[in-house]
Every structure is written in C-alpha cells, then in structure tokens.
Chains A and B, each alone.
Chain A
Amino acid sequence: MARELPYIAAIGEAIHQEMERDDTVLYIGQNIATTDDDPYLKAFGSDRVRVTPISETAEIGMAIGAAMAGYRPVVELYMAEFMLVAMDQVVNEANRFHYMTAGQVNVPVVLKAGYGFTAGWAGQHTGTIYGMFMGVPGLKVALPATPADAKGLMTASIRDDNPVVFFHHYLLTLEHGDVPEGEHVVPLGQANVVREGGDVTIVALGYMLGQALEAAEQLASEGVQAEVIDPRTLAPLDTATILTSVEKTGRLVVVDQSTRHGSAAAVIAAEVASEGFSSLKAPVQLVTALDATIPYSEPMEQYLLPDAAKIAAAVLESPVPA
C-alpha cells in the first residue's frame, strides 16, 4: 500500500523503520532531538539518538569509528557543505578502511546531506556538490528525486556495508508523492526510466528530474518524445540503462544542477561518448549550472541555474540527426 508523504517525511520514515528493525542503527547530528517530544528520542532514547556540537570532523569521524565497531550510524548534516569541513574523514578515512584492510573492517555509515537550496541562501549553503564525491573510491552516492525513492534509497543506504553519502534536495523537502508503507528498498545502482520516448534521452539528476519531466511535456507538444532517466545513484552508476536508451534514441541530454565542470553530468556524458559512441547521432548536450558560485540576488540565481525551459531549448536547438 502506498500513500502520499512529503519527501522529507519519507526519508524520516526510512530512518525510523531501520532503527526499529536494527538496534545498531544510530542517528546523530547537530540540532536533532532538541525537544523532549522528538519522535526519534521518544522511540529510541538518547543512547541511539545523539545531538552533537558543531563539530563536523569529530561527528563524522566518530560515526566512522562506530561503524567499524559494528554500528550503523546515520549522520544528519543538514547542509552538504558542512561535510567539507570534515573532508578528510569523508573522502580519505571512511572510504579507505575496507579496502586498505583487505576487508577486515566495513564502514556502514550514512552521511545525510541536503543540497541545492537555491532560494536566496547565497554562496555557501546552496552548492550541488555530489560531483566531487562521485569519483571517490569506496564511497557510494545516493540522489533521490522522489519521496518513494527517498525512502527506498535511505533504507538501502543504511543496510549497505559501505559509506554512503545520501544527498537530498532542499527544494524537494515538502514535495508530496506516493510512498510505499512498510519495508521499501530501492537498490543502489539501479536507474529508473521515468518516462519512455524514442527521440531523445534525457538523464536528469536529483531535483532536475521534475524539471526534465516538465520539459518532456513541452517537447511532446512539439512532437518530440523524450525518454527521461533518473540514475538514482551516482556511485554505483547504472550506465547500462542509459546506454540502452541512447541506443534507441541516438541523442543524449544530461541535466544537472551542478557547476558544469564539477558535474556528474560530465562523467555520464563521457561514459556514453566512450561506450556508446556508435549509437550517437548528435553531440551530447549538457544542461548544467554555469561554473559560478550561487549568487544571492534572485534574477542572477535564475540566470545561473538550469530549468525546464533551458532543457527543452537544449533539445530543440541541438542538431537533429538527418
């Protein structure tokens, strides 16, 4: 049975259910459980639900240590940028231990990081920074675009034996959608073909899925049928599903809110150019943010960011195969 839930509540439901199912799941972070009636605190107690100081390096490092000792911590980071304060722990500790110890230890930690809050939050709280984690060996990267996937990917992330950075988009926080009740797992590494079409493949990352679907509707009214794919995780990346689609359509547009040269879109484009070159009938198009920091002022913000109109324009203006 499914019922409607907001995206953020779907993530919370996954954490809650996994904490019920498995006593080793911990929930730690700044500003969580600040009232006595906090639902996590009431259900699981202050041993497993821990508020921390503003000490990202110690929070994440400690979570990694607890993970190596057999626990499954979920670290609430709120803003993805706060991970940057603790970068050594994220990209040079958590991800290396399993490998460097030849599998003697695992690091099943989830770093829950909000991103992309482009609503006047200016330069330091708005980055779409998953691209910089995508190529870090040993890290997995989840990127839910819908409430159902948010629940399913969080569940899979908690159960995974590797460190997972779970990126949720702040502008999706209150978006509603059908979410299955009870256990719901979306495997890491399995893309979703959200809309079928034969003329062009649009791979849309995270928040951009909604924009891409909107663009696809507009394109349909102009006689272009777009196939829209949501990779759902960047590491592992389900390249096969994308290649299969491009084989059918011959055209690829990749949409990403990241800065162009730091984008996951650039990696996906390179994979398709490398592995699917013979399928391509037109150059791959990237629709990304410009390579600039998010500005505060609203008109500049809009100028910088990709949206449905820019996606549709990229499709319509790209060379059409003869």
Chain B
Amino acid sequence: MWRIRAFEERVGQLTRANEVHGLVHLSTGQEAVAVGVCSQLRDDDVVYSGHRAHGHALAKGAPMGPLMAELMGRDTGLCRGLGGSMHLVSREHGFLGATGVVGGNVPLALGSALAARLSGSDAIAVVFFGDGAVQGGIFVESVNIAALWRLPAILVCENNGFAEFTPRSAHTVVERVSDVVAPYGFPRETVDGNDVHAVREAFGRFLAQARAGEGPFLLECLTHRLGGHYEGDPQRYREQIGDEEWRAIDPILRLGGGVDLEEEARAEVEGAVEFARASPFPPASLTADLVYA
C-alpha cells in the first residue's frame, strides 16, 4: 500500500510541476481496495479499471518505472505514451485496462470472463468502478447479463461517496451499491474498504467460488478519496476531512507496519521517476502508425 501512496503523492507533485500533464486522478486513501483485491490474483486473471487507475495497475503487478514513464509521456511507458493516466494497460500482467468513460469498463470485463469460460480456464475477471458508475444504464445491462450467464466476474465497487464532484445522496436514493444488484440473486457484500484485511477476506471468498466456476459477485468497498476528483480540483463542494478523522480511517495507518516500508516505497518511486526522465519521448509518427492492428 505504501508503494501506491508514495507513487500517487509523487505524481501529484509532478503534475503541479507540469512533468506529468493532462488529466490525472489519484487514488490516495483508497489503497486498501486495490491491494486487498489484486494481491490474490494471478497474471492470467484480468483486471479492468477506470479513470482512477494508478493504484490498481501497481497492485496488479504493472512495473512502476514504465507506469511512471507512461504518465510522463515516454516511449518506455506501459503504452508508449499513447494512453496516459486514464488509459493504462499492461497486458502481460493481466491489467487489461482503464477506460476514461465512467461505466465503460464493466461489460468489457464480462467479455474477459466469458472468454475464460469459453476457453476452459479457471481465470476470472475483476472490474473496479466507482459508485458513480452504478447510475448508468450500462451497469444494469451488464449486471443482468452477468447474472443470466453466471459469468466468473467479480464486480468491485469503490464507494467513496462522491461521483466526481457530487455526493451520492444527489445521485440516487439507494444507499448501498450492493442493494442495487439484490434482485439478481448473486452473492454481494459491503465491507470497510479502508480495512485491507476485510477486503482480502471477503474478496478471497468470492474468488474461491469464482475459480470453481461460479459467478458473478459484487463486493462494495466503502472508502474515502483523500484528494479531489482530479489534480487541481478546488473541492468547493465538500468539507475537507480533518487530520484526526483521516488518521482514524487511513488504511495504511490502520494496518500498522514499518517506516522501512515507506522508505523503500519512496525510493522505488524516485527510481521510477529517474527511469522516466531518462527515457526518450516516442517518435511522433507512432500516433499514425498504430491506428490499425
């Protein structure tokens, strides 16, 4: 979790210094969900994410140097500078990626689950999405098919209470995302998403069943987005959390653990920054060369 925290904090600095450009969404505060889920997966299990994807990519095993290089637009980046923060993919690590359109990733993950089923593999698909995605039609369509076809997919909702700049109460009358899928009859659970043990335990149970060919499942993780929707968001729409309140729910503090982990993580991040800075920009013509397969 320190690797993600240190990475996100450094990306925030680099964004302000204009070394990372464009639209950047950080997952600071939500690390326990990424780690609790991805730490139990294999490389052939597929994970999809959304616009807030850095933590998921790291937790799924994407190497930090190329991840940082992608955010700095370099040729050594995960996607050679074509994708950027919102469109990270590391196929060999089973991180099939991030899409920047809210909810757009949910049916894609079902496709991976279907493919695993068709090929006789016991690999599963996981999709991370926020509570904001649940109000889109694509979510209901996807949940219905997943339930109907019993696809080996685990839908992981990071419910941080805010859909972009608007509180959940302004979006829906349904308080819990896990209740939204109730009529479909598949297993669902809401856990404290800032407690990495709780996330691991609940996800682990679903994972064992999914490996055995069951599905789908929905895990709702209640968490807190420490920063704004994007880097630079003035956040006039919400009260800032107090330091004391934050310390009580900070998933890293709650886990405990050593200063050495933090130092190790920050050193790894600096190495990634150096790697990225030393990397060339991609040849400009790449953008035209890669339009078709």
Which of A's residues lie within 8 Å of B, judged by CB? 30-31, 34-35, 51, 53-58, 81-82, 85, 119-125, 290-293, 295-304
List residues of chain B with CB within 8 A of the CB of A34: 165-166, 236-237
Select which of A55, A85, A292, A300 is within 8 A of B101 by beta carbon. A85
Which of B's residues lie within 8 Å of A, judged by CB? 21-23, 70, 73-74, 77, 79-87, 99-103, 132-133, 135-138, 163-166, 170-172, 236-237, 281-282, 284-288, 290-291
Q: CA A245 – CA B164 in complex, angstroms?
A: 47
Q: CA A122 – CA B281 in complex, angstroms?
A: 15
Q: Which 4 pairs across A and B sit closest by C-beta, in order of nearness?
A: A120-B22, A296-B84, A297-B81, A297-B73
Least distance between B213 CB and chain A CB atoms (Å): 33
List residues of chain A with CB within 8 A of the CB of B73: 120, 296-300
Pairwise interchain contact A55-B81, C-beta atoms closer than 8 A? no
Q: CA A121 – CA B124 in complex, angstroms?
A: 31
11 extra interface residue pairs, beta carbon distance < 8 Å, beyond A54-B135, A295-B81, A296-B79: A53-B171, A54-B132, A54-B164, A85-B136, A122-B83, A122-B85, A125-B86, A125-B100, A293-B82, A297-B73, A301-B287
Pairwise interchain contact B136-A296, C-beta atoms closer than 8 A? no
Pairwise interchain contact A82-B101, C-beta atoms closer than 8 A? yes
List residues of chain B with CB within 8 A of the CB of A81: 101
Q: In this complex, which of B23, B236, B285 has the most chain A Cβ atoms within 10 angstroms of its Cβ?
A: B23
Q: CA A290 – CA B87 in complex, angstroms?
A: 21
Cβ-closest chain A residue relative to B99: A124
Pairwise interchain contact B165-A120, C-beta atoms closer than 8 A? no
Cβ-closest chain B residue relative to A300: B287
Q: CA A122 – CA B287 in complex, angstroms?
A: 11
Least distance between A199 CB and chain B CB atoms (Å): 31
Q: Contacts A120-B23, A290-B287 known; A296 to B163 CB distance under 8 Å?
A: no
Pairwise interchain contact B87-A296, C-beta atoms closer than 8 A? yes
Least distance between B54 CB and chain A CB atoms (Å): 14
Pairwise interchain contact B284-A303, C-beta atoms closer than 8 A? yes
List residues of chain A with CB within 8 A of the CB of B133: 54
Pairwise interchain contact A296-B81, C-beta atoms closer than 8 A? yes
Q: Contacts A31-B165, A34-B166, A55-B135 known; A304 to B288 CB distance under 8 Å?
A: yes
List residues of chain B with CB within 8 A of the CB of A298: 21, 73, 281
List residues of chain A with CB within 8 A of the CB of B79: 296
List residues of chain A with CB within 8 A of the CB of B138: 85
Q: Contacts A53-B171, A53-B172 known; A122 to B87 CB distance under 8 Å?
A: yes
List residues of chain A with CB within 8 A of the CB of B285: 303
Pairwise interchain contact A122-B100, C-beta atoms closer than 8 A? yes
Q: Contacts A124-B101, A125-B23 known; A55 to B137 CB distance under 8 Å?
A: yes
List residues of chain A with CB within 8 A of the CB of B100: 122-125
Q: CA A291 – CA B292 in complex, angstroms?
A: 11
